[in-house]
Structure 1
C-alpha cells in the first residue's frame, strides 16, 4: 500500500476569489468542495497533507514572475489566505500532525524547498495533487515529482486554471507524458 501525500497547490484568495490579484475565478471556485473533501479524506485515512502556498515579496523586481504576472500572493496580505471553505478547514485542522504548510517562491512546490526531503523522511511514495493553476503550478510541481520518482495522482475535479485549453492540455500531459493517474473528471 502506498504511503500518500495530498499536495494542495495555491488555493488562495488571490488565485480564486473574484477580486483576487491573479484569479482563475469561477473555474477555481467550482472545485472548492472537492478540494476540502480530499483534505477530509486524507485526514480520515491519516495520510499526509501539504499546503503549498505561493509567496512573493512586495516590489521584488528580481523575481522572474514580475515580468509575467501582476503582483499576487504578497507576503502579509489577505491574498495569501486560503480561499473559502479551505480556510475554515485549515483553521480547524491546523494541528493535524501530518499537515505541512509551506511557502514556495516558484511554480513548483519542489523548487528551492525542502519538500522532497520531508516526503522521503516520511516514506511517501505517492503524491496526489489538486489546486490551481493546472497548467502552471500543478504542471511544474508534477514534472518535478515525476523526475524525483513519485507515483502521481491528479484529481481533475479538484484542479482548475484561468485557461481552459491549458487545463485540458495539462491533464492530458499528466496522463500521457508523466504517467499520472488522472481521476475524477467531469
Structure 2
C-alpha cells in the first residue's frame, strides 16, 4: 500500500480571491490533482488531506509575521477548492481517507501522520498540492528524514512563486532522492 498526501488545496490557497492564493497556477493543477486523488481512493490506497488551519487569535504562530491571515479555522478559506471538495465529501466515510489539521508547513509537524502511515506499513508517499516550495517541500523534507520513499507529482503541485516552484522540484530530486513524475 502507498499513500497520497494532498496538501493545502484550499480556497484561500487556490481561489482567485483567496487570502494567500497561488491563483491561476494553483488552479491549473486541479484536474491532475483530482484525477490522481480519485485513483488512490479507488485503489484503496491511503489518502491523507493535510490541511493548514490557523486560529485568528493565535499571536504566537510564526506565520502571522510572514503572511496575511489565511486558512482560518471555521472559514470558507479553509475548505477544499473546486472539485477536490466533492471528491473528499463523497469519500470521507471510507477507511482509507483521512483528514489532518496541521498548524505548520509540514504535514508531519505536530500531527499523527507518521504513526498512521507506519501502522499501515506504508513507506512510499506521493505528494500533491500547494505550495511546492513551502508546505509540500517541508513535508517532503520531514518524510525524507523519517525514511520514506517520496514521489512528487509535478503536474499536481504548484506555488505562487515560479522560481521557488522550479527550485523545489530540483531539490526534491537532487537532495531528497525523490521521484518527480
| 2:54 is equivalent to residue 56 of structure 1 | yes
Match of 2:175 in 1: 177
| 2:163 is equivalent to residue 162 of structure 1 | no
Match of 1:25 in 2: 23
1:59 deviates by 2.5
List per-residue Cα deviations over 1:126-153 (Å, max 9, x = no partner). Answer: 0000000000000000000000000000
| 2:83 is equivalent to residue 92 of structure 1 | no
| 2:144 is equivalent to residue 146 of structure 1 | yes
CA–CA distance in structure 1, aligned partners of residues 158 and 83 of structure 2? 16
- The secondary structure found in structure 2 opposite 1:128 is strand
Runs of 4+ in 1 over 3 A off after TM superposition: none
Can you give the 5+ residue segments of structure 1 that lack an aligned partner in the other structure? none
1:96 deviates by 1.8
- Written as runs of structure 1 = structure 2, the 5 A alignment for 1:75-154 is 75-154=73-152
CA–CA distance in structure 2, aligned partners of residues 87 and 95 of structure 1? 14
- The secondary structure found in structure 2 opposite 1:100 is strand
CA–CA distance in structure 2, aligned partners of residues 43 and 132 of structure 1? 20
1:91 deviates by 1.1
| 2:2 is equivalent to residue 4 of structure 1 | yes
CA–CA distance in structure 2, aligned partners of residues 137 and 110 of structure 1? 10
Range moving further from structure 2, 84-93 or 161-170: 84-93
TM-score (norm 1): 0.96
Equivalenced residues, count: 181
1:84 deviates by 0.4
